[in-house]
Every structure is written in structure tokens, then in C-alpha cells.
Amino acid sequence: MIKLIPAHESNKYPKIIDDMFCLRARQFDERLGWKVKVNQNGHEVDEFDELEPLYVVSLGPDESVLGTFRLLQTTGPHMLLDVFPELMPDGQFIRSPLIWESTRFCVDTEKVKELSSRGLNSITGELLTALLEIGLYAGLTHIVTVIDVRMERVLLRAKCPVERLGEPVKIGKVNTIAILMECSEETVAQVHEGNEISQTCISTEDLNHLGYAA
């Protein structure tokens, strides 16, 4: 199940938010070796969490967090501009109300081992589908994100639209790139097919709460 949580409502979901930040610490500190901050509670939290992002989480039947990402508008501070500018060609940057940034995408692969016929983790597919669906419902043209080149191969297998914005740069332990993903009815249908998903991943209740038309 996909749950959308605006950051200003995080206090309504303390266990989910705690699990999410702990999963992020395991992924980005322990696994990828990025220079992230992990606090005494085992949470990976940064300054962009203070900018009221939209948290997207995949929940198990017991409401444990199986995967997550967050979304920020690019009209203000965001990671590609302020943390990873080296991933863009010199002098170029992205600022648009029609392009949001997805960051901190991760899946708890210890909990989720189910694979699709394409060899993709089922929660990865669900999150990728939700990502482009949110973009479509919010009236966006694109999502921009920073990923490692291994994840780029996953996106291509999942039939996600991928447009590189620059050459790979080694960050932490991995070669990293910035990409654009188009948000359209065609790309959403493409990702549904690529991930063997037959219906929207996002509840009408969450969409209505955020003011998006389903």
C-alpha cells in the first residue's frame, strides 16, 4: 500500500516516519557510503526534510515501511542544485513549478524479496509507478532525480522514461547521475505495463487530501 504524507503532518504517523528515516540511514549511510548525517536515533535526516517535502511510503500489512522516497519542488532549495551541482553540465540548473525532485528513493530488500517476471523487486515497481502517477495528478511535466548507474538499469527494465542530464560522477561508492523522467499518461501506462501493475497505486483519499484530481 502506498501512503502519501506531507511533512507537516508527520506527527500523525510517528511509527511510519521513524521506520522511514531508519531505512534511509541503512541505505544511504551503510550501503551506498554517501556523506549523510545519521542522528542518535538512527535516523538519516537532512536540511531538505525541513522544507516540507511530500513523503511517499510503501507499507506492509503491519504498516512497516518497505520503501520510500520524498518529493520537493525545484523552485526552492533542492539536492541537485545545492548538493550535487557537479551532476549538471556547467552553468545549467533546473527551476520550474512543473518539475519536482525525487530523492531518498530506497527499498528494504531484506523484507521484500518478491520479484516480477522482469526480475524487478515488487516494491521498487510500486514506488516507481506511484512516482510518475503523482507527477501526472499534480500536473507536472517531469520528475528530476539523482541515482546511481545501477538504479538507471533498474529504471530501464521497469520501462521508466530516463533522460540523462550529464555524465556519471563517482559519489561515495557509486557512479551517480541526474536524470529527468517525463510525467504523462503514456509514460504512466508504460510503467504500469513494465511493473505488471493494473491499477493506480495511490488512493483516492490521499489524492483528494492533497488537492489532486484523480
Measure the CA–CA gap between 182 and 132, rounded to whole angstroms: 8
In a domain? residue 30: yes
Is 80 exceeded by the pLDDT of residue 117? no
Is 90 exceeded by the pLDDT of residue 163? yes
In a domain? residue 214: no
C-alpha cell recorded at residue 104 = 531518498
How many domains, in total, are found in the chain? 1
Question: How much is the average pLDDT of 37-57?
Answer: 95
pLDDT for the residue numbered 138: 96
Domain enclosing residue 61, as ranges = 2-201
Q: What is the CATH number of the domain that holds 119?
A: 3.40.630.30
Is 80 exceeded by the pLDDT of residue 155? yes
C-alpha cell recorded at residue 209 = 487530501
pLDDT for the residue numbered 173: 81
In a domain? residue 114: yes
pLDDT for the residue numbered 30: 86
Is 70 exceeded by the pLDDT of residue 179? yes
Measure the CA–CA gap between 35 and 72, rounded to whole angstroms: 20
Q: Which residues of 33-71 are buried (b: 16+ CB within 10 A; e: fewer)?
A: ebebebeeeebbeeebbeeebbbbbbbeeeeebbbbbbb
Question: How much is the average pLDDT of 68-86?
Answer: 96
Is 80 exceeded by the pLDDT of residue 125? yes
The per-residue pLDDT of the chain, averaged, comes to 92
